[in-house]
Structure 1
Amino acid sequence: MRVYPDQLSRHLNQLFPCYLIFGDDPWLIETTKDQIRQFAKRQGFDEKVQLIQETGFNWNDLTQEWQAMSLFSSKRLIELTLPQAKPGAEGSSTLQALLQTPNPDMLLIIEGPKLANEQTNSKWFKTLDAHGIYLPCATPEGDQFMRWLDGRIKHFKLNLQPDARAMLHSLYEGNLLAADQAMQLLQLLSPTNPVSADELSHYFEDQSRFTVFQLTDALLNNKQDSAQHMLAQLNGEGTALPILLWALFKELGLLFNLKCEQAQGVALSALWGKHRIWDKRKPLYQAALQRLNLEQLEHMLALASKLELNLKQQGKEDWTGLSHLCLLFDPRAHRHLAHIAID
């Protein structure tokens, strides 16, 4: 039976003979195993045996462990790791034989990498799946990651404002361990008070002379000398590039939406409340909207996307490209720099 990790708690009202935990996300695999271990321990499974299918592994060891009497407990938990998720002919026969006569005093957890269709259609897998639960632990993406994030926010009882939630999503998508550690830190630092993106930047950035929000304000005001100085300072002090990209995406996206709505004839005065723009920040956006046209904003968003793609796929921290993007907040720079491509 296939059950996704975020649904496992609903199925822990009884123990199944085996649990199949396969996937590519270390955090999901470990937390899923921990849930099963804790529930099993409450049911009296106090002894744990760990086996790994390495070179020279003898499948008789698994059979003997399954049949052996425990020295310390009447119930035993066996954790078997299949590094390649390929038990082979002998292993396939052994696993199927074990589950033909389930032992209520034995529990089997099998762990391995993400499975291909060929493996989930194999006889050994179908036999175990019929007797137990299959938990695919692939790293969630997009909407699935947001649902996971909301679940962990609820778990830690955090009070995050929408911009802080969006910032966590942007910073940590694809890295559940780092996201979970960040939320544990937030639980310690601000267990009940509402947390905004501004406060998050203070929690997760190094203590910098300038903040990312000071940088975006300088860019909206087209104070290029100050902005480039701040960017160099933020770089030198170790500020995470994803935080800066998140902030620039946020401002460019907002400017783009405002510009589009203006083009449709909506008065700017009617848009402040819709986009939750405070009075003291209205002059910043007015200045930027007067300088930049829709085509320029589209180009800047495309450039920001390219920088983010290079960072996430290649691990490339392109501070030169980021400086280039910041310069484009000045419309005069588009005439001289817009043709330059980012590798």
Structure 2
Amino acid sequence: MRVYPDQLIRHLDKPKQCYLVFGNDPYLVDTAKQQILGFAKQQGFEERVQLEQETGFSWDELIQEWQSMSLFASRRIIELSLPQAKPGAEGSKVLQALMQSPNPDLILIVHGPKLAQEQTKSKWFKCLDSQGIYLPCATPEGQQFQRWLDARIQHFKLTIDTDAKALLNSLYEGNLLAADQALQLLCLLNPSSSINSQQLSQYFEDQSRFSVFQLTDALLLNQQDKAMHILRQLQAEGTAVAILFWSLLKEISLLFELKVATAQGDAQSNLWQKHRIWDKRKSLYQAALLRLEHNHIETMLAFASTLELKLKQQGIEDWIGISHLCLLFDPNAHSHLAHIEAD
């Protein structure tokens, strides 16, 4: 049975034989697993066995755990990690066989990366799905992210006005962990009264961890000296390149969408609303759109894609490449830098 992560709590009424947690959003995967483990513990599943399908792994280990009695508790959790989301022919047979021998004193949690559509049609998946719950943990976007954010705001019992929500949306869409951490911070700073966009902006400015947003603001306004100073500070403070790059790519992608829509004659007022750009940030985007041509932004996107591949596939944190990308927010830099590729 397919259940989305934000609905899981409603389905934790009685233990299922199997829970399938697959997806590429680490926050959703971890949150779903913790909710399942917490519920299982309440139901008396005290012992937890962790297995991983890696080199040298034998499916006999899973069979033995399924059939053996616990030394410490009457009910156990077996957590099986499939790093490639593919159990293979042998694993598929084993998983199907186990489901034919149900055990009310065991819970099987299988987790791994996002499943392709054809994988959800495989025999092993259908068999496990029929005995439990499948949780696809894909990062919510657009209105789905807004609904997720609203639910988390309600969870923390925060009162946040419309502009402040738009700011949170703009800053954190695509990064659930950072969004949740920001809301936890707001619980400490302002737990009872209403929070507006001005207060929210002030909180960010007071926290060095949010200076990445000061960087993007400086770049949108083409304040290159300030931007390079902030970038050096971020590097010295050990800021994760992944977080920094995510923010830059988000802004460049948004500029591209705004530029295309404006060229097609879309009214800016509609664009602000569509992309949830709050009032105080409109001037930043207007300045960048007037300054940068369509081909400038395309060049920036292409360069960013190369940096993304280096980061995700090779684990290379290219600070020089990040600096190069920041400089390209200045149209004058394109005649000197646009031909340079990220090695």
For normalisation by structure 1, the TM-score amounts to 0.69
Higher radius of gyration, 1 or 2: 1
Counterpart amino acid of residue 234 in structure 2: G
Q: Secondary structure at the match of 1:76?
A: strand
Alignment of 1:88-237 (within 5 A): 88-193=88-193, 194-196=195-197, 197-205=200-208, 227=223, 229-237=225-233
Match of 1:38 in 2: 38
- With 160-169 and 114-123 compared, the bigger mean Cα shift is at 160-169
CA distance in 1, matches of 2:57, 2:51: 9
Q: Secondary structure at the match of 2:91?
A: helix
Q: Secondary structure at the match of 1:10?
A: helix
**Gapped runs of 5+ residues in structure 2?**
236-243, 270-276, 309-317
Match of 1:77 in 2: 77
For normalisation by structure 2, the TM-score amounts to 0.69
How many pairs align? 303
CA distance in 2, matches of 1:30, 1:62: 22
CA distance in 1, matches of 2:7, 2:37: 16
Counterpart amino acid of residue 123 in structure 1: K
Counterpart amino acid of residue 61 in structure 2: D
Preserved CA contact (<8 Å) 1:21 1:134: yes
CA distance in 1, matches of 2:192, 2:13: 32
Task: Please state how far the C-alpha of 1:145 moved relative to its aligned partner.
Answer: 2.3
Preserved CA contact (<8 Å) 1:307 1:318: no
Q: Indicate the RMSD between aligned Cα atoms, in angstroms.
A: 4.4
Match of 1:297 in 2: 290
Match of 2:239 in 1: none
- With 181-190 and 199-208 compared, the bigger mean Cα shift is at 199-208
Preserved CA contact (<8 Å) 1:51 1:81: yes
Q: Secondary structure at the match of 1:90?
A: helix
Counterpart amino acid of residue 95 in structure 1: L
> Structure 1 297/103 Cα, relative in aligned 2: closer, same or farther at 3 Å?
same
- With 179-188 and 113-122 compared, the bigger mean Cα shift is at 179-188
Alignment of 1:275-314 (within 5 A): 297=290, 299=292, 307=300, 311=304, 314=307
CA distance in 2, matches of 1:230, 1:71: 62
Identity score, percent: 48
CA distance in 2, matches of 1:167, 1:310: 27
CA distance in 2, matches of 1:44, 1:38: 10
Q: Secondary structure at the match of 1:62?
A: helix
> Structure 1 168/42 Cα, relative in aligned 2: closer, same or farther at 3 Å?
same
> Structure 1 80/302 Cα, relative in aligned 2: closer, same or farther at 3 Å?
same
Task: Please state how far the C-alpha of 1:78 moved relative to its aligned partner.
Answer: 0.8
- With 145-154 and 36-45 compared, the bigger mean Cα shift is at 145-154
Match of 1:270 in 2: none
Deviations 1:150-194 (A, max 9, x none): 222222223333343333333333222222222222222222341
CA distance in 2, matches of 1:30, 1:41: 16
Preserved CA contact (<8 Å) 1:22 1:115: yes
Preserved CA contact (<8 Å) 1:164 1:200: no
**Gapped runs of 5+ residues in structure 1?**
264-274, 279-283, 329-335
